[in-house]
A and B are shown apart, each in its own frame.
Chain A
């Protein structure tokens, strides 16, 4: 990857992308290289198949869900612009710039990071993590040594813990509250995406 450095001018909509995502030009170039490396047939967009080809993703319990997160609802392909837009969620938060006003919510704000995580849970996108959805995630993430019953218990308990309005599901607000103690800005950022 990155063996051949693309010239910045080769990247379509470079300015807009930098504007939108806050990436530096170098980062955009690097990601573009990576994009092209993934895009083996040089077709200018990525399919799920391309991403599934990344070996390590196959062993990541949430791999499939994360791949899906790169694609808009019902679409099978993603172009560079949406690709980098997804990655922008993981850009570290700079403290100085967060004060800036007059700009729309930056892609890498805490809220957006949380939303990204939330949609990985919320597979049917109804704005709520239901019991089943929680169970599915747990099934993915907890080792096989835990039985289905125990998983169900955990799921139940987890939902009860976060559920504030008693609807038996976790809404986004409840989700955000349940992790408010965590340092999301740090935990959901990649240094190399500066």
Chain B
């Protein structure tokens, strides 16, 4: 019962946050906090300082918006966004200011509102800053269509900059005093508007370039990558501020433009850090601002009420925004391929919430110069409260009620990605044919320029090489497949151990293998059915049915990668990361369990394989044992070397591919590396046997067949198969065999290679037999040595296998050993060790 209230609170809180936008809650929190502060201190202790706001609170918010802006969408709609942000804001501020001045002139306002036209224009400029937060939160939740989303978002982002520039211009006018403002000053104001905004953007671009370039060279100092991102963005802000250009635009453009290259360059961990830090900083700044808002609202000494001003402002900002949107849309629609319809316009007009920036700006007014500051503060607070609380609360129902076009949610498919690219190319080509150099033409040009010069300059080679959108989508899908495959594999594993052997061969999770898997099984839906189908027992059929069910539910992507922005939400990559981690763990575990199984199985299951492997083992062993033997040593040497080199090169390959990767992309390559090692292991496992004096007929040539120890083969086979049956139930061995053979086809290269060598070595076999007597001391020494070399290269999984292997070999070996009495020779050791090192290298 004690939990009951708290549970209710939780349920309530969930309900509240789903209905009430965050900013509303923050304002309410600020109100409460302000009330407490006021009650205790009797006066407002905390004030929003201009320097604090502009130096510390604003940059994170702006950087966050710029950095997480979906840039493709942004530039696709740049025209509309710029129109709304620049012209719309100018219109709003001038119209609102002028209208309020008109109200004042009409004598409707209290005489205490001591303000001229310039003051009202100043007020109009600061009150026209549209705040993105609340609208975006709502849009995010209802998945509004991308175009509307980016237009509203881009507008609210850029108009902050416009507002601040405008605010500064007017502020300087007011401070000069309207009487002293000459006509040239107005011209200067207009000119400075352009200089300040374009200059700010240019500074931002410059720093974006620097930032991208720097992150290219931070490979060895990953830890400071996030630092650089923040530092340079902030430096862009300060630099622009220093030369009195628009610092907001500088940070915005720095964020938008550096993202592509920075994301490609920095490590995944740094990427996560940057994301979270940025979001956290932005949210913190916003929270602080809203709390100040709440505190100021409670402190009545700070503001003076005038009904006409408040009502007039509320009316005018709503009215003029609607008018502005409708007029601009009407013009824009003549140029747009997809016109913005009425519903879009309604949402856009209604979404003009005012927020933190407006409040901060009004607080920053100089009370001596702007005598009506207290009235403006009160009005701004009311406007912010009204828009955030009333409009913020109602916009969601409105969006639903109007049935605004939603963005369609679906998983990204390769086809769509591919065809979208194709469509882009087709359109670009048609534009060329028609001879019109439109937007697509320039985008095409830009992409080529980017590909040819910029990316090469600003991206690491590895990152540049890996960057291709189609390929990205493919990899994503592949990983997803692999995950679902592992999920299913887990299921099968628990039901029967049947599919176990097929797993690791496929877990060579380089990008292609899952596809191989898909190809093998023929159906895209179920990854493992083929293996199951080979066994017709009822249980397995049930299993297969369950598989189908599972496939239906598991094969789907968990989450769509959405190109959208939310200030407080980072979805996609965390999910991916999680998936990858799960996947990695599963794979590792399975690889380990499998490895022991496989080793036995490969030798046991297919006799041909056994012979091959065994032959190789024995050959190399035998060759090594032949130091004072008749056959020329050089020949045996080559044989040994050849075999080892083959293995070695395989290892090397995986190694190099691994090192090329960044350290945090290990997942895929760990799986592959282990697999490579596994295959190497097959060979090196054979090496393990080499020194053993136990002789197994190395080749099936006619000469060999007459050899007296031919029986050994059968012997050995029995011994291994008894091992195998521990792992595979007898009744399933048929299936086991099949899956093994399919495994072989996948993992054949290293296994098959030794074949020819083995045959050619068949000749010296008789001598081998003579040489066979083998000193016990020799046998023991190389073994640990090999092991150490292997464990060095293969890592921990390898070691775990050793104990398992040893008991199998030991008795037999010892038996052989004792029977064999020959001259011990130290040269053998040397010879043997050399190849071993060779393989190690």
Residues from 387 to 417 in B contacting A, C-beta threshold 8 Å: 408, 410, 413-416
| Per-residue contact bits, chain B 455-479, to A (CB 8 Å; 1 contact, 0 not) | 0000000001111101100100110
Q: Does B837 contact A (CB under 8 A)?
A: no
In the assembled complex, the CB of B438 is this many whole angstroms from the nearest CB of chain A, namely: 6
Q: Is the CB of B413 within 8 A of A60?
A: no
Q: Is the CB of B471 within 8 A of A150?
A: yes
Q: Does A106 contact B (CB under 8 A)?
A: no
- A191: chain B residues within 8 A (beta carbon): 335-337, 438
Q: Is the CB of B465 within 8 A of A145?
A: yes
Interface centre among A57, A60, A121, A142, by most chain B C-beta atoms within 10 angstroms, is A60
Q: Does B192 contact A (CB under 8 A)?
A: no
The answer to whether A192 and B477 touch (CB under 8 A), given A150-B512, A154-B414, is no
Q: Is the CB of A178 within 8 A of B471?
A: no
Q: Does B302 contact A (CB under 8 A)?
A: no
| Per-residue contact bits, chain A 131-172, to B (CB 8 Å; 1 contact, 0 not) | 000000110011101100110011011101111001000000
The answer to whether A181 and B338 touch (CB under 8 A), given A150-B471, A154-B470, is no
Residues from 424 to 438 in B contacting A, C-beta threshold 8 Å: 424-436, 438
Q: Does B448 contact A (CB under 8 A)?
A: yes
Q: Is the CB of B471 within 8 A of A154?
A: yes
Q: Of A5-13, A97-105, A182-190, which binds chain B?
A: A182-190
- A143: chain B residues within 8 A (beta carbon): 451, 467-468
Q: Is the CB of A62 within 8 A of B515?
A: no
Bound complex: CA A34 to CA B433 (Å) = 8
Q: Is the CB of B415 within 8 A of A179?
A: yes
Q: Is the CB of B431 within 8 A of A190?
A: yes
In the assembled complex, the CB of A57 is this many whole angstroms from the nearest CB of chain B, namely: 5
The answer to whether A160 and B335 touch (CB under 8 A), given A66-B430, A145-B464, is no
Q: Is the CB of A120 within 8 A of B422?
A: yes
In the complex, the number of residue pairs spanning A and B with C-beta atoms less than 8 Å apart equals 153
Bound complex: CA A31 to CA B430 (Å) = 12
The answer to whether A186 and B470 touch (CB under 8 A), given A158-B415, A181-B408, is no
In the assembled complex, the CB of A39 is this many whole angstroms from the nearest CB of chain B, namely: 12
Q: Does A22 contact B (CB under 8 A)?
A: no
- A80: chain B residues within 8 A (beta carbon): none
The one of B428, B434, B474 that contacts A31, using a Cβ cutoff of 8 Å: B434
| Per-residue contact bits, chain B 355-385, to A (CB 8 Å; 1 contact, 0 not) | 0000000000000000000000000000000
Chain A interface residue count, CB cutoff 8 Å, equals 57
Q: Does B421 contact A (CB under 8 A)?
A: yes
The answer to whether A153 and B515 touch (CB under 8 A), given A181-B416, A190-B438, is yes
- B444: chain A residues within 8 A (beta carbon): 56, 60
Q: Is the CB of A60 within 8 A of B425?
A: yes
- A66: chain B residues within 8 A (beta carbon): 425-426, 429-430, 433
Residues from 69 to 86 in A contacting B, C-beta threshold 8 Å: 70
- B431: chain A residues within 8 A (beta carbon): 190, 192
Q: Is the CB of B416 within 8 A of A190?
A: no
- B433: chain A residues within 8 A (beta carbon): 34, 38, 51, 54, 57, 66, 70, 87
Bound complex: CA A180 to CA B423 (Å) = 14
- B425: chain A residues within 8 A (beta carbon): 60-62, 66, 141
Bound complex: CA A87 to CA B420 (Å) = 19
Interface centre among B414, B428, B433, B524, by most chain A C-beta atoms within 10 angstroms, is B433
- B467: chain A residues within 8 A (beta carbon): 143, 145
Bound complex: CA A176 to CA B511 (Å) = 28
Q: Does B419 contact A (CB under 8 A)?
A: yes
- A142: chain B residues within 8 A (beta carbon): 468, 470-471
Q: Does A193 contact B (CB under 8 A)?
A: yes
Q: Is the CB of A146 within 8 A of B338?
A: no
Q: Is the CB of A160 within 8 A of B518?
A: yes
Q: Is the CB of A146 within 8 A of B432?
A: no
Q: Is the CB of A149 within 8 A of B512?
A: yes
Q: Looking across the interface, which residue of chain A has its beta carbon closest to that of B439?
A: A191
Q: Is the CB of B432 within 8 A of A57?
A: yes
Binding site for A on B (CB under 8 A): 335-338, 408, 410, 413-416, 418-436, 438, 441, 444-445, 448, 451, 464-468, 470-471, 474, 477-478, 511-512, 515-516, 518-519, 522-524
A-B contact pairs, 12 of them (CB 8 A): A34-B434, A56-B432, A66-B426, A92-B337, A141-B470, A142-B468, A145-B464, A145-B468, A162-B415, A178-B413, A188-B423, A193-B434
Query: A34-B435, A57-B433, A184-B423 are known contacts; what are 15 more A-B pairs with Cβ within 8 Å?
Result: A1-B435, A38-B433, A38-B435, A70-B433, A117-B419, A137-B418, A138-B418, A141-B470, A150-B471, A157-B474, A162-B415, A175-B415, A181-B410, A186-B338, A187-B424
